Amino acid sequence: MENPVLDIMQAIEVKLMEFNPLEIVCRDMYRMEHGLDHCSPSEQRRRAEKYREFFSAASRPADEISHVLTEDMFHMESNIVVIKHCRFLPPRPHIHSFFELFYIARGECIHTCRSHDYHLKKGDFCFWEFNSPHEIRSYSDDFIGINILIRQNSFDSIFFELLSEQSILSNYFKSILYGNTDHPMIIFRTGENIMIRYYMYLIYDEFLEKKQYHQNMISNYLNTVLINLLRHHISDVITSQKPSCDQRLLGILEYIQKNYNTVTFSDVCRHFNYSSSYLSRLIKKSFGLSFSQIIQHKRMEKARWLLKETDMTVSEIAAEINCSDASHFCRIFAREYHMPPVKFREMQSEPLP
């Protein structure tokens, strides 16, 4: 009996298993360097030349952060980028300024983060914080890894409702959304959960095909995946959290987020019984932002939701989030999201097909 879900997965997996030009070059070089292919001198020169075309800085030391990935790689109107991990890619420690989610659909790999090796296998779903040096090593034809990259300033608007709940995921994301954390990664071991793999394949295919509203579809599918993780795999979580992680900081952040539209800095000081100078330093050191910057960020996220879900005018939204006037609101919104409020609403106005 035919199974349409398995048929769709098989068709997408065929695309994922295909070797792209970079993977071919990396595999050829890996096999030559490890004596798996016996090449003539001319073939060795050809492979080395092709390799240099892709990696002009391949001679850098292995422990050096070879490159920094920023949001410049995102298309102006893309909040989510989905890419297949390159098999046989040489170890290249890197950092990035966006959220990275990594899913292993087939095979195994080694992920090194903060000088610690993690053995990842089929079904593992990983989350990494910003600016934490890491690298992935996978040297098998049978490996499939899918990377999902999400703009930092878009994450909690895309997953607004999920982050409002109390869970290991929401606490983790809230702890790194405004700064660093003592636990640079968490891993959900989902094993043979076919529904998670199905939706991850759909996410990859949506980004690959780029049909109309593909960003909306990707957000919806990813929400489904995250809910599945919380429902069925909360007991299968591995974290690198240190016991010394100060949970009071999450309490401060949660209080600010819940009361962002009315709370003042003095209110927070009184609520947690801190002096203004101490709390100001604590917030800045812990989250990398000032109190006013956190408030502004939350107000812009609320504005995004109102633009998407209501018919309120820009002036009404500005008033709703306690912004001084519509012009000021438009300037802040454009600086935060790289487009004016009207343009954002136009992109959201059509229903999904």
Residue 232 lies in a domain: yes
pLDDT band at 157 (very low <50, low <70, confident <90, very high): low
Residues 6+ apart with CB under 8 A from 43: none
The reply to whether 174 and 312 lie within a common domain is no
DSSP 34-79: TTSS---HHHHHHHHHHHHHH-TTTTS-TTS--EEE-GGGS-TT-S
User: Considering 239, 256, 285, which residue would you say is the last residue of a domain?
Assistant: 239
pLDDT beyond 70 at 74 = no
The reply to whether 198 and 344 lie within a common domain is no
The reply to whether 255 and 215 lie within a common domain is no
The reply to whether 220 and 78 lie within a common domain is yes
pLDDT tens-digit series, residues 255-268: 887 888 899 999 99
pLDDT of res. 293: 85
Residue 103 lies in a domain: yes
The reply to whether 311 and 284 lie within a common domain is yes
d(CA 311, CA 313) in angstroms, rounded, equals 6
The reply to whether 66 and 184 lie within a common domain is yes
Q: Does pTM top 0.85 for this prediction?
A: no
Residues spanned by the domain of 256: 247-348
User: Considering 189, 204, 239, which residue would you say is the last residue of a domain?
Assistant: 239
The reply to whether 256 and 229 lie within a common domain is no
E strand or H helix at 194: helix 194-209
Share of the chain above pLDDT 90, in %: 39
pLDDT of res. 117: 83
Residue 33 lies in a domain: no
Residue 325 lies in a domain: yes
Share of the chain above pLDDT 70, in %: 78
The reply to whether 174 and 283 lie within a common domain is no
The reply to whether 271 and 329 lie within a common domain is yes
pLDDT beyond 70 at 76 = no
Helix, strand and coil in the chain, % to nearest 5: 50, 15, 35
pLDDT beyond 60 at 85 = yes
The Cβ of residue 114 has, within 10 Å, a number of other Cβ atoms equal to 10
pLDDT tens-digit series, residues 164-217: 665 556 666 666 555 555 556 788 899 999 999 999 999 999 999 999 999 899
pLDDT beyond 50 at 60 = no
Residue 264 lies in a domain: yes
CA-atom Rg of the chain in angstroms: 23
Residue 164 lies in a domain: yes
Domain count along the chain: 2
Return the half-sphere exposure (C-beta side, CA atoms, 13 A cut-off) of residue 340: 8
CA angle centred on 184, ends 178 and 188, rounded to 5° = 110
The reply to whether 220 and 316 lie within a common domain is no
- Average pLDDT of the chain is 81
Q: Can you tell me the mean pLDDT for 235-245?
A: 55
User: Considering 183, 206, 239, which residue would you say is the last residue of a domain?
Assistant: 239
Residue 169 lies in a domain: yes
Q: Can you tell me the mean pLDDT for 151-159?
A: 71
Residue 55 lies in a domain: no
The reply to whether 206 and 127 lie within a common domain is yes
pLDDT beyond 90 at 62 = no
CATH number at residue 288: 1.10.10.60
CATH number at residue 126: 2.60.120.280
Distance of CA 147 to the CA centre of its chain: 8
pLDDT tens-digit series, residues 287-346: 667 899 888 888 888 898 899 889 999 999 999 999 888 999 999 998 877 789 998 888
The reply to whether 72 and 102 lie within a common domain is yes
